[in-house]
């Protein structure tokens, strides 16, 4: 099975116990992970925020980034998604709309930990909300 994973889901999965790898998280174990190229700077930015807010140490952040780099994420360019992203402008911000548009295009579920995105996209694609 395949899923689109947004950065909130990836961060949630990367933050699991060091005994686990993100790839062994139940939400994605055995799944192909798809994401727009936006996933890379979004994950790095989220990890950076965790360090600056002192919720994670620098060592923990580096471990999270190592885990992220180790994930086999199939990345997609944005250009082919722009028209759909624009059409979603009234309900979803463009950054999040890239993930929704990709899930729609591939006809696969979107995994997110973002409750607001899950509510906004619930009628657009299948949503798997990480609690």
Mark out the alpha helices in the chain (DSSP H runs): 7-14, 39-52, 58-70, 82-87, 94-106, 115-121
CA distance 23 to 29: 6
Identify the pLDDT of residue 19: 45
pTM for the model stands at 0.89
Which pLDDT band holds residue 16 (cuts at 50, 70, 90)?
low
Give me the chain's average pLDDT, please. Answer: 91
Among candidates 94, 108, 88, which has minimal Cα distance to 4? 108
Per DSSP, the chain holds a count of helices (H) and strands (E) of 6, 5
- For 69-96, the pLDDT digits (tens) are 999 999 999 999 999 999 999 999 999 9
What would the mean pLDDT of 46-61 be, rounded to a whole number? 91
Residues contacting residue 1 through CB under 8 Å, at least 6 positions apart: 30, 31, 32, 108
Identify the pLDDT of residue 24: 52
> How many angstroms separate the first and last alpha carbons of the chain?
21
Q: Is the pLDDT of residue 29 over 80?
A: no
Number of domains in the chain: 1
Which pLDDT band holds residue 27 (cuts at 50, 70, 90)?
low
Stronger pLDDT, 18 or 89, i.e. the higher one: 89
CATH number at residue 119: 3.40.50.1010
84: domain range? 2-129
Kindly state the tokens that stand for 88: 């979603």
């Amino acid at each position: 099975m395949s899923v689109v994973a947004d950065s909130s889901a990836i961060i949630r999965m990367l933050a699991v116990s060091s005994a686990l790898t993100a790839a062994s998280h139940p939400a994605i174990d055995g799944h192909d992970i798809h994401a727009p190229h936006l996933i890379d700077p979004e994950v790095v930015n989220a990890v950076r925020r965790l360090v600056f807010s002192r919720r994670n140490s620098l060592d923990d952040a580096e471990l999270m980034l190592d885990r992220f780099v180790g994930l086999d994420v199939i990345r997609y360019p944005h250009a082919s998604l722009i028209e759909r992203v624009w059409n979603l402008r009234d309900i979803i911000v463009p950054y999040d709309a890239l993930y929704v548009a990709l899930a729609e295009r591939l006809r696969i579920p979107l995994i997110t930990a973002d409750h607001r995105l899950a509510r906004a996209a619930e009628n657009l694609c299948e949503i798997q909300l990480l609690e």
